[in-house]
Amino acid sequence: MDPVSLVLSALASGAARGAGDSASDAVKAAYGRLKRLITERFAGRKSAELALAEHAADPETWQAPLAKALTDSGAAADQVVIEAAQRLMVLLDSAGAGGGKYQVDLGDAQGVQVGDGNRQVNVFNPPQQR
């Protein structure tokens, strides 16, 4: 899974299942830590802060703006943020984590999509004649 998808998935899953009264203390702590780490990276970036805050209530609408903010701020490349997202997903989806679903390693890959529910559109234009 690519780092941005991992963090987005962890945030959405954490908001959906980790913030409620029925969530374990470990899940609440892991979700809170991930949000704090990202909030620190977003400090002073109003649009990024807004995307993070709104993503919890409406992940589908705010996914693209939050993904951009994660990339632009460097949060998606921060190993501490990635490990916090992985830790949260281990708590929320132990079967998926045990199967390697949340491991991040794409090396020098290009044009790759990893994760659930992706959509990609490719447009191939014929070469221009000279």
Give the Cβ contact number of residue 69 at 10 Å: 23
In a domain, 94, yes or no: yes
Q: Is 63 in contact with 55 (CB distance < 8 Å)?
A: yes
Place of tokens 């460097």: 74
pLDDT band at residue 31 under the 50/70/90 scheme: very high
Separation CA 69–CA 91 (nearest Å): 25
Separation CA 47–CA 65 (nearest Å): 8
Residue range of the domain that includes 56: 3-98
> Residue 124 has what DSSP assignment?
-
In a domain, 67, yes or no: yes
In a domain, 69, yes or no: yes
Based on the structure, what is the number of domains in the chain?
1
> Which of 19 and 125 is assigned the larger pLDDT?
125
Average of per-residue pLDDT values in the chain: 81
Say what the pTM is: 0.69
In a domain, 113, yes or no: no
47-68, pLDDT tens digit by residue? 999 999 999 899 999 999 999 9
In a domain, 34, yes or no: yes
Mean pLDDT lowest among 25-39, 76-90, 112-126 = 112-126
In a domain, 124, yes or no: no
